[in-house]
Amino acid sequence: MREELIEKIEQLKRKKNAIILAHNYQRPEVQDIAEFIGDSLELARKAMATSADIIIFCGVDFMAETAAIMNPDKKIVIPDVGAICPMAQQLPAEDLLAAKREHPDAEVVLYVNTLAESKAIADCICTSANAQEIVNAMDTPTVLFGPDRNLAYHAQKTTTKTIIPVPEHGLCPSHHQIVLNDLITAKRAHPDAKVIVHPECIPAVQDSADYIASTSGMVKICKEAEAVDELLIGTEIGLLHRLEKEAPEKRFYPISTTAVCPQMKMHTLENIEAALENEKPEVVVPSETARKARKAIERMLEISH
């Protein structure tokens, strides 16, 4: 049954010149049928580079919207419209405008995990892979940064600029579940393991890690770290599938097994097949919002190669 479904998906991809882009947190079976798996930055770049007519985007809303903003001529389809990142909802455009009024001399850097309307009023976008680089490249000594306070903390470590988080306590609910006690317990069970975490983790967890990186950065470090056989992974547990597949000689342990992003798990083989068949639900960003947001994304891509 599953084989038949996969065969149907492959046929539809060929017939419609479609590809599947999947985020590193997708279900294993979705990762396995994707043309490309990556972090937010890689997926945005991949969406721009493909010659496919249709992109089935298996990630959350802001990722699919970013692909749509950068590819007005391509059809971007998200298999389940319920895949809405709760962090991105934490910074409505009106709250950002209010913060801008309070700090008129600060440039605005927004994490890509944001609503398209908020991106449209940002000076530059960043991802977890380049937040430090982007903040340092801004023209003003003070930077408004949102919505993730933990990524702001990570960015602050390598800059003399003053970073003002907006909102004050923006966070990812899935990463917020990874607490220092989990790390201490995991370390006790695997004392030789290195610790690698995502910058959406709380400061106490970041401060106890050997490495901090984006999801694809984590994969790269895990694969390349010589003389490291065991790693404790501090992010959404979907990343474990890719790690185990690409570095089978190493052992990976999640710091918290409850760090699950339910929205990332909404795409299934069934709704991917339906999305390919019907070419919807299509992700459409209003053209004026897209035009403004594109400027902020392009600035990021110019700074971060």
The entry of ligand 13P, ligand SF4, none that residue 214 binds, CB within 5 to 8 Å by partner kind: ligand 13P
Nearest distance from C-beta of residue 262 to ligand SF4, angstroms: 8
- 214 belongs to the binding site for ligand 13P (CB under 6 A): yes
CA dist 147 and 158 (Å) reads 19
**Smallest Cα–Cα separation from 285: which of 78, 97, 134?**
78
- Pairwise CA distance, residues 56 & 75, whole Å: 8
Which member of 50, 113, 256, 263 binds ligand 13P (CB under 6 A)? 113
Q: How far is CA 280 from CA 56, 116, 277, in A?
A: 9, 20, 8
The least distance separating ligand SF4 from the CB of residue 172, rounded to whole angstroms, comes to 3
* Cβ-based nearer residue to ligand SF4, 18 or 266: 266
What residues make contact with ligand SF4 under the rule CB under 6 A?
A: 60, 85-87, 113, 172-175, 200, 236, 261, 263-264
Residues binding ligand 13P: what is the number (CB under 6 A)? 10
The one of ligand SF4, ligand 13P, none whose footprint includes residue 281, by CB under 5 to 8 A per kind, is none
Looking only at residues 62 through 101 of this chain, which bind ligand 13P when binding is defined by CB under 6 A?
none
Report which of 86, 129, 115 is spatially closest to residue 260, judged by C-alpha positions: 86
* The binder of ligand 13P chosen from 50, 90, 118, 128 (CB under 6 A): 128
Closer CB to ligand SF4, 9 or 233, in the complex? 233
Question: What is the smallest separation between the CB atom of 42 and ligand 13P, expressed in angstroms?
Answer: 8
Question: How many residues does the structure list for the chain?
Answer: 305
Query: Closest separation between CB of residue 60 and ligand 13P, Å?
Result: 7
Report the residue from 114, 127, 271, 289 that binds ligand 13P according to the rule CB under 6 A.
Answer: 127
Report the residue from 20, 44, 56, 172 that binds ligand 13P according to the rule CB under 6 A: 172
Q: Which is nearer to ligand SF4, 113 or 214 (CB)?
A: 113
The pair of three-digit structure tokens given for residue 154, joined into one six-digit string: 């990570």
> What is the C-alpha to C-alpha distance for residues 175 and 199, in angstroms, rounded to an integer?
9
Query: Site mask, ligand 13P, residues 175-204, x = CB under 6 A?
Result: -------------------------x----
Spacing of C-alpha 144 from chain mean position = 20
What is the contact mask toward ligand 13P in residues 5 to 44, using x (rule: CB under 6 A)? -------------------x--------------xx----
Q: Closest separation between CB of residue 20 and ligand 13P, Å?
A: 16
Q: How far is the CB of 220 from ligand 13P (least distance, A)?
A: 12
Strands of the sheet containing 211-212, edge to edge, are 211-212, 194-197, 230-234, 251-254
Binding site for ligand 13P (CB under 6 A): 24, 39-40, 113, 127-128, 172, 200, 214-215
